């Protein structure tokens, strides 16, 4: 919604917004754009007398401002519907869907198009460091192309379809699909149905770029596919594949032929897979594979994706958005691959986790947490039983003595600082602000 507000402002509208809690990097980005932020949902905000209320999916019945809007019969629309009708109409939309990696893959794709001179518009659920903003209408010239992160979460309290059905993609990346969002989906089959609806919206002249390693996506496509399709991954017969080299570089292969080598500093197989999907999607709009490969060498990642927040006394603190067990495991494994096996030369990984997503709070993924953290040397979990509805300490018990849980942030910071040694890597994972724990750690580590 913050990125959508930026687009509306850029399109010439006066935009205000309200939320219960806005935190960086989005809050600072909105303020820099001159977008007025209002704390809370007071019904008196209708006195602003806007032409239209654009409603995000966090809003529910019973919210004071929502009730006032409904009672007065004021005009409203969902965020995805508004962007579909007012921004994406007449654009070649490149949409990136998937349980994991959407933000990073969308950022890669937008950067490839930018570096190739396409000047795309984009809407991304994070801040790509190559751009410094999460949304824009277009680059330094009008553009026919728009890259969007296509979320499967529902649209609004009055529209329970997934957001991505509003975007009418011509190029659609299906990156992966597993169970998530336990607050709105009863099982993975329900999510597959939404992905099937997305596939139904892609025109015959469009193209699906699909992870061939995912059985769930194969099931989606078996329900119908009316567009061109290219696959990527490690499975036999995939159109796009890769060969990994020491240090993170990798060869890109199309139908078995080497197209070139990506040289970059990003770690983890997941990022190389994301890159493969972005290269394939960019090729659909005419970007030569060699150009895309060269562009990725200049890709600078995304804020809150293994972002180094600082180093004190040889101890590095990272910030990462990981909150689903698969994403947690992938992030920890990526850092492990980057720094090498634990020891005196490479240091240890101290994983710091806040399980705060709706899915986590429902306990649907708690049994998967210990396995997702197995590559860490020490684990520090934060969350009270009252807030979570289940015991984090009990969930982490299979990890034995390496795991510690806390319900007070300052106590956890103190324990981490006491445990940390020069050469260690403190990996903080949360999909929220986490009480500013990153800076608290850096301050506490300072001599």
Query: Containing domain of residue 130, as a range?
Result: 88-296
Q: Model-level pTM? A: 0.79
**Same domain for 312 and 292:** no
Looking at residue 306, its pLDDT comes to 78
Query: Residues of the chain whose pLDDT is less than 70?
Result: 23, 25-26, 341-346, 359, 362
**What is the pLDDT at residue 200?**
97
Any bridge partners for residue 173, and if so which?
A: 96, 209
As a whole number of angstroms, the distance between CA 128 and CA 113 comes to 14
Q: Are residues 327 and 410 in the same domain?
A: yes
What's the pLDDT at 346? Answer: 67
Any domain includes 83: no
Q: What is the pLDDT of residue 337?
A: 79
Q: What is the predicted pLDDT for the residue at 402?
A: 93
Residues 140 and 223 in one domain: yes
Contacts of 143 (CB under 8 A, 6+ apart): 118, 119, 120, 121
User: Is 11 part of a structural domain of the chain?
Assistant: yes
Helix axes 188-201, 215-222, angle to 10 degrees: 50
| pLDDT on residue 344 | 46
Q: Nearest CA to 270 among 226, 312, 305, 303?
A: 305
Residue 81 covered by a domain: no
The 3-state secondary structure of 344-391, one letter per residue: CCCECEEEEECCCCHHHHCCCCHHHHHHHCCCCCEEEEECCHHHHCCC
Cα–Cα dist 434/24, whole Å: 11
Token pair 């992030």 is at which residue? Answer: 331
**How would you classify the pairing of strands 135-136 and 121-123?**
antiparallel
pLDDT tens per residue, range 91-103: 999 999 998 889 9
Residue 301 lies in a domain: no
Q: Is the residue at 302 inside a domain?
A: no
Round to whole Å and give the CA distance between 175 and 209.
Answer: 8
CA-only gyration radius of the chain, Å = 22
Q: Are residue 264 and residue 319 in the same domain, yes or no?
A: no
Which ranges of 241-318 does DSSP label H, i.e. alpha helix?
Answer: 269-284, 289-296
260: CATH: 3.40.1190.10
- Assess whether 259 and 403 both reside in one domain: no
């Amino acid at each position: 919604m913050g990125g959508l507000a930026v687009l509306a402002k850029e399109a010439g509208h006066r935009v205000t917004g309200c939320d219960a809690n806005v935190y960086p990097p989005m809050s600072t980005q909105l303020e820099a754009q001159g977008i007025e932020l209002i704390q809370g949902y007071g019904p008196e905000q209708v006195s602003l007398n806007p032409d239209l209320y654009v409603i995000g999916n966090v809003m529910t019945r019973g919210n004071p401002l929502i009730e006032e809007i409904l009672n007065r019969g004021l005009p409203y629309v969902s965020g995805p519907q508004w962007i579909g009708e007012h921004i994406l109409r007449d654009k070649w939309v490149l949409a990136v869907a998937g349980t994991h990696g959407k933000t990073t893959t969308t950022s890669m794709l937008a950067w490839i198009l930018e570096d190739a001179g396409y000047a795309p518009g984009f809407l991304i659920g994070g801040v790509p460091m190559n751009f410094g903003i999460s949304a824009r209408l277009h680059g330094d010239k009008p553009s026919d192309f728009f890259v969007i992160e296509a979320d499967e979460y529902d649209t609004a309290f009055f529209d329970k379809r997934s957001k991505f059905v509003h975007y009418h993609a011509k190029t659609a990346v299906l990156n992966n699909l597993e169970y998530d969002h336990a607050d709105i989906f009863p099982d993975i089959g329900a999510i597959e149905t939404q992905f099937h609806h997305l596939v139904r919206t892609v025109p015959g002249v469009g193209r699906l770029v699909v992870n061939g390693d995912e059985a769930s996506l194969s099931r989606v496509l078996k329900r119908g596919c009316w567009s061109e399709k290219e696959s990527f991954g490690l499975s036999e017969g995939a159109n796009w594949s890769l060969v990994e080299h020491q240090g993170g570089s990798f060869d890109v292969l199309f139908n078995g032929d080497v197209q070139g080598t990506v040289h970059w500093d990003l770690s983890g197989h997941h990022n190389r897979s994301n890159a493969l999907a972005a290269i394939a999607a960019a090729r659909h709009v005419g970007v030569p594979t060699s150009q895309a490969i060269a562009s990725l060498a200049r890709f600078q990642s995304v804020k809150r994706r293994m972002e180094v927040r600082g180093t004190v006394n040889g101890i590095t603190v990272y910030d990462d958005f990981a909150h689903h067990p698969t994403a947690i495991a992938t992030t920890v494994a990526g850092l492990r691959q980057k720094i090498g096996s634990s020891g005196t030369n490479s240091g240890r990984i101290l994983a710091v986790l806040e399980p705060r997503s709706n899915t986590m709070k429902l306990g649907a993924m708690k049994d998967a947490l210990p396995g997702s953290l197995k590559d860490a040397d020490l684990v520090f979990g934060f969350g009270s039983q009252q807030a979570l509805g289940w015991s984090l300490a009990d969930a982490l018990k299979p990890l034995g003595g390496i795991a510690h849980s806390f319900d007070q942030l300052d106590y956890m910071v103190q324990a981490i600082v006491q445990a940390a040694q020069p050469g260690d890597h403190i990996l903080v994972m949360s999909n929220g602000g986490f009480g500013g724990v990153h800076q608290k750690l850096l301050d506490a580590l300072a001599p």
